[in-house]
Structure 1
Amino acid sequence: MIRAAVRRQGGALLVGAAGVGKSLLLSTALRRAAAEGRTVLHVGGAGWSGDTRARGFGTLAECLETIRPSAPDGSAGIPPLVGIDDAHLVDAASSIRLHRLVAVGRLSVLAAAPQDAPAPAGIDKLWLERLVEHIEVAPFDSIAMSLVLRARLGGHTDTATLERLWAATHGNALLLRELVENALEDGSLHSVDGAWRWSGLTSRLGKRLSDVIRVGLRDLSPHENELVHMLAIAEPLEAEIAAAAGLAKAAESLDLRGIVGVERSGARVRLRLALPLSRVVVAARMSDLTRQRLCREIADALERTGTRRDEDVLRVVSLRIQAGLVPGREQLLTAARIAIRRRDLPLAERMCLLALQEAPDDRDSAPLEGPVPDSVEYGAALRRLVTRIENTPAQAVDRSRAALLLGEVLVGRGRAAEAETVLSAALDAGAGVPVTERIAAVHTRVINMAWSLRRVEDARDLLARTVAEVAPVHAGVLHGTRAVMAVMSDRLHEAVAIGETVLRDRIADRPVAQALVPTVAFARCELGDPAGALELLGRYRDSAPDWDADAVLLADSVSARCSSLLGSLRSAAEKLDGAHHYAPGNGRPVLLQPLLDRCRLLRLRGRCEEAAGLLRRAIASDTSHEYPVTDAWPLAQLAGALAESGDHTEALRALVEVRSLRGAMPRSPIAEDEIAFENALVLAHTGDHYSAGVQATELAERAFGAGRTVRAVTALLLAARVTDGAAVHFRHHALLRAARASGGMIRLYAEYAQALSDADGALLLEVSGHFGHMGALPLATEAAAQAARAFRAAGQHRKSREAAAAGRDLQRECGIPLPAWVERDSQVEKPSASLTPREREVAALASTGMSNRDIADRLVVSVRTVENHLHRIYHKLGITARNDLKQSMDRLTGRARERERIPPLRLVGAPGSEQVA
């Protein structure tokens, strides 16, 4: 873009925030202009030495003095190119003279200036009069950032790391460079099985990175500095608290400078530091006295405004702890429960450990200062805690309650063995613990034993003993545990039977209902009875708002899924939009199951990129373990969303990450089948239609055998879509009949598969209309295109043209291109389709720059096997060098898209700016 602007002999003005790379971009453009034979004059350091065509000057006035007058005949040839960094610092007189010289064609100019900085009149007139292009240099988006990291690191960066780096830097080039170099130096960014991984910000940053951050915080007034310190301790901070402290004007000025961001939620206005890195740097340099004073003042201010929300209670207790004031044990346990609900498990763990102390100065009872998970020291400290619980009967109740809560936290953090140690000791010593807390701890321990420790029989024995020991009114909650275990084991009919037995002919009380109803409704929905699941949820609609937050979220999620399967996508979206709790990063609880349902719905409606963004943030967030969801499930769904949006190579890389995760975590049949579906979908989009059809058909038969009609019919439909209905055999008719009996979207899926099998153009067109009415535009578009093909094959050309026209209208509304398997009849089959699934994985990894050894380690094969795969890949793709792999894979998987390039820059007031690139 810059080259085009300079060749028009006007030039360009680059503007952007500090650190986005304006100066480096300017210097690079000047170098290239000089290399092309242009005379370059640079001012203010915007250049380099050692080039005979480049001359440097200290001021613009000195530079302009060297400009020779035009030739007598008026032809001055190609004018010199003047490069100016920090153009806003140019004196007014020189800027006017520069404007005049550019206006008469004597000069071209390439300048850079900070965004929103007041510039002298001559500089502003250059772009206002369209003599130069006004180019806004924006921060990197996530795609561009991944390309930059790949170039710097020489390999693939995993999805969670990309999102964490984006959250820490917001795509600022300077901060990204310094953070990556700092993380490489301290070892926190390292390569694991050929992929670069980073766990996130530490409490302290390297000196250079800290100094870079402090440059952006210099020249703060005392009031601005005070507010920055308050935000580093307790962001997000209510604007009214800042105003009460006399810092309202400081907040306004910091907002204008981009140091502080403002977020609004209803009537609440909160302040945050714009960059997370700033919080870490400021907090690390703050004195202990300042920290304690500000913590006390903010906690007092929060209490004066009224701790109406759970989060306010949690913040007050946390601030008191930071100020060195340890609250009472009951207050600590209350705050710990709130922290668990909000998924702030490190904070909850610290509060539980404090509650286990006998006295505020008891420092030997627990590792309070940032324990390292699974360390020998931490394990020894836990054993000391267990011993004290057993040997201090007078305090056994309170300390056992704290230990039970700590066990729940450890389960959430994935430390199953430590959790079992704590829970078993606390339950054995927990005489006098409230029965509701004991029942909740038994539920946690049973699930931990069955799921993470694979001690299923021990878990069942413990559950049976506890049911026999407690009163029937309390045993109802443990029947919810039985239902969860049945779902985890893919025994959905058993889960429904448990629910029918416990809930028959009466409305259960709150603890039993919230433990049982969402799980049983989920099982009914998966079995193909969304109407029955909604009826069950509807019976508890009035009491559900009183349930715990997680139970409400799960019930809302199941309700939305049922609505979508019954064909009401808009109603499902409204239910999920009404509960913002699923969105990671907004300070609210995060449950993966509602988020996955949200993303599934977005993809069904054609909003794949939005779904991919949500999934990336969820993958990077530190969410607790859930059942039956595994960490690989959202990553697999991300791969599917990327494939549907056309990002095929990244989808393949995501699947490789899925494989590496699956070996390190418990497996659930439901989660495994969800992952298998996304794997088949990615294969289909990347050209291997045969393998996709085989895998999808096997999945359909496996899910149908387990009674999961919904997954079975969607998998069979995928197989039918990619094989022109050939995957629908006679033995699958029972599945289609069962799906038709469910009604709604499930019935529509079955009719779609049957229509593809029969090449029934009329039914395909009817199915397309139903999908379009529901809002599932991608499927509506695809069904219309397949109807056109079926009509054409039957010789009904008029109907074929009508169906094709309807499909084009839907595609324009949807904005998503047809998948490759629909268009293949009018195209030559892509050579990439001849690559096997393993060859495509090897090619995708090799195209990122990974070595053969790294690829072998990642795929758990030998280096010789990788070399053989690459030899066959080169032959099939017609290339001879590894450097050609990326371009060949991108071209052959049909991924040539604008978004894969560094995002276009916005043009303002430039010639031709009405056509934004």
Structure 2
Amino acid sequence: MDQGRWALVGRDAACAAIASALEDEPPRSLVIVGPAGVGRTRLAREALSLAQRAGQPTRWARGTGAAAFVPLGALAHLLATIDVSSDALVLLQRAAHAIAGDGSGPVPVLGVDDVHLLDPLSVTLLHQLAASGAVTLVLSVRTGNATPDPAAPLWKDGLATRIELQPLRRSDTERLISQALGGDVETRTGERLWRLSQGSPLFLRELLEDGVRTGRLGSSCGLWRWEGPVVPSGRLTEIVLAQLGHLDATEWRALEVLATAEPVSVHQLAALSSPEAVASLARRGVVTDAEGGSGAVRAGHPLYVEVVRSQAPAAAMCFIQRRLAEERTGNGLDGQLVRRCVALLDSGVSAPDAPMLAEAARRANAMLDHAAAERLARAGIDAGANPRAHLELVDASRWLGRPERSVQLAIEATRVVATEYDRARLTAARALTLFCGLRRGEDAAAALREAAATVGSEEARAVLAAAEAVLAFLGGDPERAVRLATPVLSSGGHGDASRPLAAAAAAAGLAVTGRTTEALATTSAGWAALRSERECVEAAFARVVLAQAEVMALHLTGRIHDLERRAAELHRSNLMAPEWAGDAIACLHRGWAALAGGRIRPATRWLVEALGGLRRGDPVGLEGLCRQLLAMAKALSGDRPGARELLGDLGSTPSGPVRVFDPQARLAQAWLAGAENRSADAGCLVLDAAALAARQGQSAVEAIVLHCALRYGRAAEVVERLRDLAERLDSPFVVDLAAHAEAVAVGAGDRLDAIGHRFEGAGALLFAADAAAEAAAAHERAGDRRAAAVSRARAAALARGCGLADTPALDLLAPPALTSREEEVARLAVQGLSNQEIAHQLVVSVRTVEAHLAHVYTKFGIKGRADLRTTLTMAEWALVRGRPTPGGPAPRPLPSDLLGL
């Protein structure tokens, strides 16, 4: 790892305070305080470097526990000629003179690290030096160790500036990780590094360096990912143990208890160690109260328990685990029962009964901890073949990436369950796995039909109907999905457990068919049902499809800002659960939102992570969609080979039973054709995609696809259909799409400007850039060069804001060409030089400068210098993008219009 990449991230305010103090006359001393590992030493060194660059002599010392036993021990190397046998007063005077000098040169700067470890005489010396002003001090003091701050009198008496450092914020931690590794980090890896480091640069550095050295932290497809457990290295263990300080036997036992199963009741912790040990650790910040005010405690830092766990004997941990398992009741929160049952299984004491294990497995699945759910469900089956344990095992196996095993378990479990409701749930689970995980659509449909013919209870029928509605949507029949799900949603209590799954199917169907207001209302009802129902059918599947439906509805109604916000919320919520298959889908939604907003680099970053996760496991059948979106983003950024590789040999439609995204697959092919300058093929593919969306009843998707046809000169062919859709659908966004098509067809520059502003307000920046560029072309044709220049500049600014946006409208609108001398004169004028100054600098006459500027004003259609800066923006953009020459390759489609999702 490149050592030079460890920059001072997140310390801008502290650096500014240091610079201000050292620039004062006279310079002010500094006291940098903070807990261990936050970078006090690094900042103090930075202060000395700043002083050194200003020409001040600098010296450095560091307090240590060993040196504290010798008067002035930490400063001894600065006092080589002093007789330490002198009495204390004489010794202080001579030491002060040795450090301060004779005062003939610049004021020296003395940096002393870990002042809290100095002996009393050294602390007295520092106070005298600060009071005299003969030396500028830069001191670092560790806080949080329950000892007084020896430098406190300095800043309390105004002799020094106190700078308090806190652990880095999460955003700064993520930035530091990216800088250190030279790339983006997978979400779960970033979450793990944040959880373990808690913003400590010291801990973070040790974790990263050990991960890279051992190979557990590696880069794949442009993202860094940590594989396997995090085991503290020997060096990190030593650092943590040094921070913990001396621990007696009972204090160490208390930490072993926390390392076994935190959080732990303070009473249990005291019983297994001692009240005195708990109190001592609490005073030093080694243990702290757990969140929620439950009376439980946890370690003051996550690495404390990781280090103790790596050092504690297995027998001691097993004994503690057995004691905790015997005492826990498991009542209350879901996690308490899950932890208790897992602890009982680990400890080797008598296992809980089958009903308790089945309930714990259900709660684990609800918490998305599918690995724990699988283990608990198997134990429940072994303890008595509880039917619910079979259901939870089937669910856990699917989400753990074992679809074949999940299907087989569902078939086997059907023989042991006794109720129609349980058989219906097992059938629904098997059908969803067959359809999405194994791509066996016909087998899934057959399983649901056979079950429907044998069940009679309304509750069981609701389960089957909800599952069938989901498969109808994914299979490309959203209207049927709505018809199947609606009776479940209005069943009046008989289908309560199936309501979230039915709401997900209905909302997704409503979104793509253009009833987006109803879709968003239905997703809200689905989320509420998911939170309120204790035992939902296919809760994890419902959660994923509800998120998918909400993302589609927000996009198709043109609420891009809301889409990005909601995708981020869903992603953060997902991180509250353990790592699971839904991580990739949450990243897919973030990439979708970023791409819809025209933010290409973040879209690519999120979609790369999503695709990596979906390749490891795709229980909902979204890998194809992810490939299509990522291909669009790569093509937009200029990576045509990458886009071509992603699409591969998909053809016009992807294989498998998930057909609802077939229009997007064809649009992705169209985008690739356009990127390869096959404009005629691209236009045909776009119209085919719109026709396919229409056949599937996806009216909202059809509208966005038709809008894409404008990029290929097909406005006349689609404007009527867009106008019809705008009248039928409840989406103002579709109204804007139709208005855009009409304005392009008639070349109305003012209307295109207005539409572009509406797109920008909604967050659709690529749409806005395209409309602004088209407005510029329309103004140019109308002879209004001033309006054309303004629209050009706005289009360039919008496209730049999107990242590397390659819009065909901009390709068609090269700004007027300037000669090299005209451009030179114009740039000097923008810098504020007068005509006389420009003439003097270029060694030409003032009249020549005036002539060149007149030519520039005429070419751009502007009146004078006031508009010159804006009009040059477009020329700069053209130079950076390498605009094609007249007669060159055909323009490519604007990919923001290809997101008909």
Cα pair distance change 1:535/1:188, threshold 3 Å: closer
Please report the TM-score for the alignment, with normalisation by the length of structure 1. Answer: 0.64
Q: CA deviation at 1:452?
A: 2.5
Task: State how far apart, in whole Å, the 2-side matches of 1:503 and 1:668 are.
Answer: 24
Question: 2:430 maps to which residue?
Answer: 445
The whole-number CA distance in structure 2 between the counterparts of 1:124 and 1:719 is 72
Give the conservation status (yes or no) of the 8 Å contact 2:167–2:198: no
Q: In 1, Cα distance between the equivalents of 2:419 and 2:720?
A: 54
Aligned residue number for residue 209 of structure 1: 236
Which residue is equivalent to 1:708? Answer: 698
Q: 1:828 maps to what in 2? A: 876
Residue type matched to 2:150 in 1? P
1:828-867 maps to which residues of 2 (within 5 A)? 828-829=876-877, 833-834=881-882
Q: Which amino acid aligns with 1:826?
A: M
Change (3 A) 1:91 1:505: closer
Change over 3 Å in CA distance of 1:495–1:459 after alignment to 2:
same
Q: Give me the CA root mean square deviation.
A: 6.2
Q: Secondary structure at the match of 1:440?
A: helix
Native 8 Å contact 2:186 2:609 kept in 1: no
Say which SS state the counterpart of residue 78 (structure 1) adopts: coil
Shift of 1:525: 1.0
AA partner of residue 525 (structure 1): A
Q: CA deviation at 1:784?
A: 10
Kindly indicate whether the alpha-carbon contact (under 8 Å) linking 1:784 and 1:806 is maintained by their aligned counterparts in 2.
no
- Residues 12, 134 of structure 1: 8 Å contact kept: no
Higher mean C-alpha deviation, range 519-528 or range 451-460: 451-460
Shift of residue 529, structure 1, vs aligned partner: 1.6
Give the Cα separation in 2 of the matches to 1:297 and 1:692. 72
**2-structure distance, mates of 1:452, 1:570:** 33
Q: CA deviation at 1:590?
A: 9.4
For the pair 1:80 / 2:84, whether they are aligned, the reply is no
- Which of 282, 295, 308 is the matching residue for 2:308? 282
Distance 2:618 2:161 in 1: 59
Matches within 5 A, 1:451-490: 451-471=436-456, 473=458, 474-490=460-476
Deviations 1:454-497 (A, max 9, x none): 33333333333333333374344223333322333333244335
1 CA distance for matches of 2:563 and 2:409? 41
| Structure 2 residue aligned with 1:353 | 378
Deviations 1:221-265 (A, max 9, x none): 777656544443333457798799999998787677554565655
2:516 matched to 1:530? yes
In the alignment, structure 1 residue 174 sits paired with structure 2 residue 174: no
| Structure 2: distance between partners of 1:318 and 1:767 | 59
Give the whole-Å Cα distance in 1 for the aligned partners of 2:743 and 2:277.
65
For the residue of structure 2 that corresponds to 1:483, the secondary structure is: helix
Deviation track 1:659-694 (CA, whole Å, cap 9, x = no partner) reads 99x9xx99955678889999999999xxx9999999
Q: After superposing the two structures, state which structure 1 stretch, 559-568 or 512-521, moved more.
A: 559-568
Distance 2:631 2:36 in 1: 33
Matched letter for residue 627 of structure 1: V
- Taking a change above 3 Å as real, the CA distance of residues 589 and 417 of structure 1, as seen in their structure-2 partners, is closer
1:333 aligns with 2:365: no
Distance in structure 1 (CA, Å) of the matches to 2:774 and 2:331: 60
- What's the CA shift string for 1:55-78, capped at 9, x where partnerless? 94489968644236446xxxx333
Are the aligned partners of 1:486 and 1:492 in contact in 2 as well (CA < 8 Å)?
yes
Over 3 Å counting, the alpha-carbon distance change for 1:180 and 1:39 in structure 2 is same
Q: Which amino acid aligns with 1:125?
A: W
Unpaired runs of 5+ in structure 1? 47-53, 359-394, 837-917
SS at 1:141 equivalent = helix
How far does the alpha carbon of each residue in 1:872-901 deviate from its partner, in whole angstroms, 9 at most, with x for none?
xxxxxxxxxxxxxxxxxxxxxxxxxxxxxx
Secondary structure (helix, strand or coil) at the match of 2:106 reads coil
Aligned partners of 2:683 and 2:174: how far apart in 1? Answer: 31
Following superposition, the deviation at residue 20 of structure 1 comes to 3.6
User: Kindly tell me: are residues 273 and 488 of structure 1, through their superposed partners in 2, closer, same or farther at Cα, counting changes over 3 Å?
Assistant: farther
Q: In structure 1, what is the equivalent of residue 193 of structure 2?
A: 165
- Mapped contact 1:89–1:119 kept (Cα < 8 A): no
Which residue identity is paired with 1:316? R
TM-aligned CA distance change 1:505 to 1:131, over 3 Å: closer
Task: Give, as a single letter, the amino acid of the residue that structure 2 aligns with 1:278.
Answer: Y
Q: 1:440: Cα distance to partner?
A: 1.9
Given that residues 144 and 284 in structure 2 are in contact (C-alpha distance below 8 angstroms), is that contact kept between their aligned partners in structure 1? Answer: no
Question: Residue 288 of structure 1: CA displacement?
Answer: 5.5
Deviations 1:305-354 (A, max 9, x none): x8244333333323333443310112111110111111111111111222
Change (3 A) 1:425 1:590: closer
State the partner residue of 2:889: none
1:809-829 Cα offsets, whole Å, 9 max, x none, are x99xxx989996799963423
Q: Distance in 1 between matches of 2:640 and 2:290?
A: 37
Within 5 Å, which residues of 2 pair with 1:459-858? 459-471=444-456, 473=458, 474-499=460-485, 509-533=495-519, 545-546=532-533, 548=536, 550=540, 553=543, 557=547, 558=549, 562=553, 582-585=573-576, 626-630=619-623, 633=626, 702=689, 705-706=692-693, 707-714=697-704, 730-731=717-718, 733-735=720-722, 737-751=724-738, 753-754=740-741, 757=744, 760=748, 763=751, 826-829=874-877, 833-834=881-882
Contact 1:102–1:131 under 8 Å retained in 2: no
Q: Secondary structure at the match of 1:829?
A: helix
* Alignment correspondent of 1:413: 400
Retained in 2: the 8 A contact 1:681–1:718?
A: no
> Which residue in the other structure is 2:828 paired with?
none
Whichever residue aligns with residue 279 of structure 1, its letter is V
Which amino acid in structure 2 is aligned with residue 828 of structure 1? E
Kindly indicate whether residue 141 of structure 2 is the aligned counterpart of residue 125 of structure 1. no
Preserved contact between residue 14 and residue 22 of structure 1 (Cα < 8 Å): yes
Summarize the Cα distance change of 1:636–1:240 in structure 2 as closer, same or farther, 3 Å threshold. farther
* 2:813 equivalent in structure 1: none
Match of 1:376 in 2: none
Q: Indicate the structure (1 or 2) with the bigger Cα radius of gyration.
A: 2
What is the one-letter code of the residue matched to 2:180? V
Aligned equivalents of 2:306 and 2:757: distance in 1? 54
Code of the residue aligned with 1:829 in structure 2: it is W
Q: CA deviation at 1:36?
A: 9.4
Task: Kindly provide the amino acid, as one letter, of the partner of residue 304 in structure 2.
Answer: S
Superposed displacement of residue 141, structure 1: 1.9
* Unmatched segments (≥5 aa) in structure 2: 1-14, 65-74, 81-90, 811-869, 885-901
Q: Does residue 352 of structure 2 align to residue 313 of structure 1? A: no
Taking a change above 3 Å as real, the CA distance of residues 14 and 137 of structure 1, as seen in their structure-2 partners, is farther
Structure 1 counterpart of 2:35, from 10, 17, 27: 17
Matched positions, count: 758
- Show CA shifts across 1:576-627 (max 9, x none): 9999993422679995668876897799899999999999999999998552
Match of 1:365?
none
Is the Cα contact below 8 Å between 1:740 and 1:746 reproduced in 2? no
One-letter code of the match for 1:337? R
- On the 8 A contact 1:45/1:56 being kept in 2, the answer is no
Distance 2:299 2:45 in 1: 31
Structure 2 contact 334–363 (Cα < 8 Å) conserved:
yes
Q: Quickly say closer, same or farther: Cα 1:727–1:233, change in 2 above 3 A.
A: farther
2:184 aligned with 1:198: no
Q: Quick one: distance in 2 between partners of 1:143 and 1:693?
A: 44
CA contact (8 A) 1:262 1:270 kept: yes
